Amino acid sequence: MGDNSFEIERALAEIADNFDGVAEKIDGSQIQLSQLPDLLMGVSLFSSARLVVIRDLGQNKAIWSDFGNWLGKISDDIHLVLIETKPDKRMTTFKSIKEAASVKEFSAFSDKDFVTVEKWATTEAEKMGLNLDKKSAQFLVERVGVDQWQLFNALKKLSLVDSISIDVIKDIIDPNPVENVFNLLETALGGDRTELKQILSRLEKTEDSYRLFALLSSQAFQLFVASAAEKTDNMQKDFALHPFVASRLGSLAKKVGSKNASKIIDIFIKADDDMKISKADPWLIIEKALMQISLIK
């Protein structure tokens, strides 16, 4: 159970690989009560054992509330796997399952887990036969983010090259939205309006305008707070940021200063109002806000 789909799928694959047969995959939210006897007690004509995988049974209120009473009826020849993203641990059913079976919880990584994710990426790289040094691992996570699916796919891409370095990662691994947004804000603050338009043009093809604006607003707020922070304040701890990101944000805040950071916040407040009343195309509103920021001196 849990919201880490990567680890859940990996655990499920391991179970399936160790089972001599084909897993039966069932959408638990759609099954009827009349199907349970066959799923939990039925015997296969072609095999002495069955592997039954049921997803999201907890969403099926009619069955889930009484499912604990079925656990003792499950045939010894049936290997039952239940996959639940957010089970209600307060319910009797969950407590019954926990007593009768092995329960594993897989939680997705958050931005607070950068160091753990870097170690995970290094371990995964070793499994693939890749040499990913510490600095490259740090840069990869900073560029891709903490999502294990995206990191795994990034490592698969890197497995096609002879050696891995930060420059190689820059060349073949696309930055995540947060990294794109930081570069966007940094470019605007640098006053390079030509480059700013080029970046926006690329992002418009791949990103959702409202999500991008939300990320921009969040970084603008972090920049404002960082510009007013005392030397004793810890940006990394206070915002749960990767050390590299915190360092970049802190350096940018020093250049901007608290007065200009306040102006940036005002620009985003006005842009947010325009977005809410659909005053213009969202991308035009974002571009206008960033162009205004590029003029701040």
As a whole number of angstroms, the distance between CA 234 and CA 107 comes to 26
Which segment of 45-49, 163-167, 188-192 scores lowest on mean pLDDT? 45-49
Does residue 106 lie in a domain region? no
Length of the chain: 297
Distance CA 155, CA 106 (A): 21
Q: Give the burial class of 141: count Cβ atoms within 10 A of its Cβ; 0-12 exposed, 13-18 middle, 19 or more buried.
A: buried
Note whether residue 124 is domain-resident.
Answer: yes
Residue 230's pLDDT band, with cuts at 50, 70 and 90, is low
Q: Which of 72, 61, 60, 62 is nearest to 97 (CA)?
A: 72
Cα 1 from Cα 104, distance rounded (Å): 6
- What's the pLDDT at 14? 94
Say if residue 50 is in the same domain as residue 12: yes
In which residue are the tokens 């939210």 written? 29
* Residue 145 token pair: 């983010």
Does a structural domain hold residue 105?
no
- pLDDT interval class at 157 (50, 70, 90): very high
Say if residue 190 is in the same domain as residue 271.
yes
- Beta bridge partner(s), residue 54: 26, 82
What is the pTM for the complete model shown? 0.69
Q: How far apart are CA 263 and CA 158, in angstroms?
A: 42
Q: Which two tokens stand for residue 237?
A: 């701890």
The residue out of 76, 100, 124 marking a domain boundary is 100
User: Band of the pLDDT at 101, cuts 50, 70, 90?
Assistant: confident
> Residue 145 — pLDDT band, cuts 50, 70, 90?
confident
- Domain check: are 279 and 187 in the same one? yes
Collapsed DSSP state (helix, strand, coil) of residue 295: coil
Least trusted range by pLDDT, from 95-99, 122-126, 157-161: 95-99
Tokens, residue 214: 């939300």
Listed residues 172, 190, 214: the one ending a domain: 172
Show the CA angle centred on residue 214, arms to residues 227 and 253, nearest 5°. 15
22 and 93 both lie in a single domain: yes
Q: Domain containing 71 — which CATH number?
A: 3.40.50.300
Contact between residue 62 and residue 31 where contact means Cβ atoms under 8 Å apart: no
The CATH number assigned to the domain holding 186 equals 1.20.272.10
Q: Which of 153, 172, 191 is the last residue of a domain?
A: 172
Residue 227 has pLDDT above 90, yes or no: no
What H or E segment, with its residue span, contains residue 51? strand 50-55
pLDDT 10s digits, 35-84: 988 888 877 656 678 899 999 999 998 899 888 889 888 888 889 999 99
Same domain, 85 and 136: no
Assess whether 17 and 50 both reside in one domain: yes
The predicted structure's pLDDT at residue 284? 92
Number of domains into which the chain is organized: 3
Q: Is the pLDDT of residue 11 over 70?
A: yes
Q: What is the pLDDT of residue 225?
A: 81
Q: Are residues 75 and 143 in the same domain?
A: no
Q: Is residue 77 part of a domain?
A: yes
Residue 278's CB: how many other CB atoms inside 10 A?
9
Give the structural domain span for 148: 111-172
215 and 282, same domain (yes or no): yes
Same domain for 140 and 182, yes or no, is no
For residue 78, the one-letter residue type is: I
CATH number at residue 115: 1.10.8
